[in-house]
A and B are shown apart, each in its own frame.
Chain A
Amino acid sequence: EVQLVQSGAEVKKPGESLKISCRASGYGFTNYWIGWVRQMPGKGLEWMAIIYPGDSETRYSPSFQGQVTISADKSINTAYLQWNNLQASDTAMYYCARHEWKSAAHWFDPWGQGTLVTVSS
C-alpha cells in the first residue's frame, strides 16, 4: 500500500525556521515526483512545489519560489518542506502528496494526512 506519513503539528514564532517531513512507503520513492500543497484556514488548495527524488529536480509555483525550499532524502524515502523566516501568514495546513507526471498529465495521489503549522507571537 502506498502511504505518506507526515510529521506532527508545529507551533512557531515569527522569524523562526522550520522543516516538516513526509515519509513515503509502498513504492519506489526515486521513481515518482512528490510535492507540497498549502491550505490556509478556511481557504482552498494551493500548489506549492514538487521534487523528483531520483535527481532532486524541482519545480516551484511562482507564488512560493524563494519563500520555501523543497528537498528529499532518498536514503530514508522522505521529502521535506523548509522555511527560514516564518511569518504569521504561513499559518496553514500543509499536505504532501505523490505527484504523477506523464507527458501532459499531472495529478496528486495519494495524499498525506497533513501537518498543521501555526505561526504566532
Chain B
Amino acid sequence: QSVLTQPPSVSAAPGQKVTISCSGSTSNIGDNYVSWYQQLPGTAPKLLIYDNNKRPSGIPDRFSGSKSGTSATLGITGLQTGDEADYYCGTWDSSLRAGAFGGGTKLTVL
C-alpha cells in the first residue's frame, strides 16, 4: 500500500481537460516537492513534471502540476488519444527516508 493515494482511473473526451490527484501527508508531499510520470503502454516511465510544477524540455504546456498542502494535482488540457497512459506521482518521504510513488492512475481518452 503506497503512502501516496491516486484515483485508479479517470476518463475524458478528446479536447477536454482532466485532473489527477495525489494525496499524501506532512512527511511526504507536505515536506517535499512532487514529480509526475507518464507510462505509455509497454514503455518505460517518462518524467512529465518536477519540482511540483516545472516541465522538462520537450513536455508540452498542456501538462501542468500544482501542489497545496499535502496534495498535488496533475492537469492535462486538450486531451489527445495519445495521452492514454498510466500516470504516477512521486515524492520523498522524510519519515521513511526514501522515495515513494502513488499507486498510479489510468487515463482513458474516450
Instruction: Report which A residues bind B (CB closer than 8 A).
Output: 35, 37, 44-47, 49-50, 59-62, 95, 97, 99-100, 104-114
Contacts and interface: CB of A to CB of B under 8 A. Distances in A.
A106 B104 contact: no
Contacts of B56: 109
Interface in B12-62: 31-33, 35, 37, 39, 44-47, 50-51, 56
Contact of B47 (A59, A104, A107, A113): A107
Contact of A45 (B33, B96, B101): B101
Contact of B97 (A45, A59, A113): A59
A20 B108 CA distance: 34
B96 A108 contact: no
Contacts of B92: 104, 106
B47 A44 contact: no
Which 7 A-B pairs have CB atoms at the shortest separation, nearest pair first? A107-B35, A109-B47, A44-B104, A105-B33, A47-B99, A107-B50, A61-B98
Interface string B73-101: 00000000000001010111000111111
Interface residues of B, number: 28
A105 B90 CA distance: 10
Contacts of B37: 45, 108
Interface of B: 2, 31-33, 35, 37, 39, 44-47, 50-51, 56, 86, 88, 90-92, 96-104
Nearest to A114: B44
Nearest to A62: B96
Contacts of A35: 99
A27 to B, nearest CB: 15
A111 B98 contact: no
Contacts of A45: 37, 39, 45, 88, 90, 101, 104
A107 B90 contact: yes
A4 B88 CA distance: 21
Contact of A113 (B44, B51, B101, B102): B44
A25 B2 CA distance: 32
B101 A95 contact: no
A105 B51 contact: yes
